[in-house]
Amino acid sequence: MTQVQSIPAVTPIEKRGYAHPEVLVSTAWVDQHLSDPKVRLVESNEDLLLYDTGHIPGAVKIDWTNDLNDPVVRDYVDREKLERLLRARGIDQDTTIVFYGDKNNWWATYALWVLQLFGVKNVKVMDGGRLRWVDEGRPLTTDQPKYKEGNIKVGKRDDSKIRAFRDEVLDHLKKKGQLVDVRSPEEFRGEKTHMPEYPQEGCLRGGHIPGAKSIPWAKAIDPETHTFRPASELKKLYEQDNSLRGDAETIAYCRIGERSSHTWFALTYLLGCEKVRNYDGSWTEWGNAVRLPVEKP
């Protein structure tokens, strides 16, 4: 077992009051299962080169740009391509898939969300992501693992429950439904069209969808430990401070759907909200579309 460096401690996952604590695993749990043939670690990062500089031993890589997206249509791969992808990573029908990555697991939750469109079961996220693993002094390797082809079977994609499209968002808006804008405050106010530290690209108009609540995705994370805040703090953030109803239809969006998948994950699995959808078209679609309303403070 790895010798862990002294860093801020975290409350055990099972004691944080989550609706579905089983969807998170700790870095210690991952360390204990590094040689478990029934567990496949999958790293998914914003930085597509980061995996090659060092990753958790035995982890495979899923590239959100080339592996999950259709090369022609702005959409996700079909069932057959996803099945081939997962089988090539040595994933069997009974494999526990554990995602982790950079940016406090932005792309880990995004990859998990995409797999949920296809009904893939037994998927989890390593709480704290790469940052927590590295902070604890746990091992990284540049070795490329090789596994025999897996036998996982992927179901037909069903977007209806957890994905929202532009016209559905417009209908939701007309019904005064709950909308959560998880981007930075500068993007919400229309001062930026991308995160402040990034090139300002991707859309013609800045602002937000009328009536949306501004709840930046990172507020769900403890910045010292990089792990999800306990349920009591998440409830205060979403329900008390921003008046979100857990039983109401909710749509989350950002710029391209990755940050909002993180909020979708927190609301769905950690707080147990059953009617949350991710609008992956997000601001790159809404901010460029003709005849769609844009609001600024």
Q: Are strands 96-100 and 39-43 parallel, antiparallel or unpaired?
A: parallel
Residue 29 vs residues 66, 130, 193: alpha-carbon distances, Å: 30, 14, 39
Quick one: DSSP state of residue 95? P
Q: Which residues are catalytic?
A: 254
User: Is the CB of residue 95 less than 8 Å from the CB of residue 152?
Assistant: yes
Q: Where are the alpha helices (DSSP H) in 141-198?
A: 166-174, 185-188
Q: How is residue 174 written in tokens?
A: 């007309």
Rg (CA), the chain: 19
How many Cβ atoms from other residues are within 10 Å of residue 81's Cβ?
Answer: 15
> CA–CA separation, 60 vs 42, rounded Å?
5
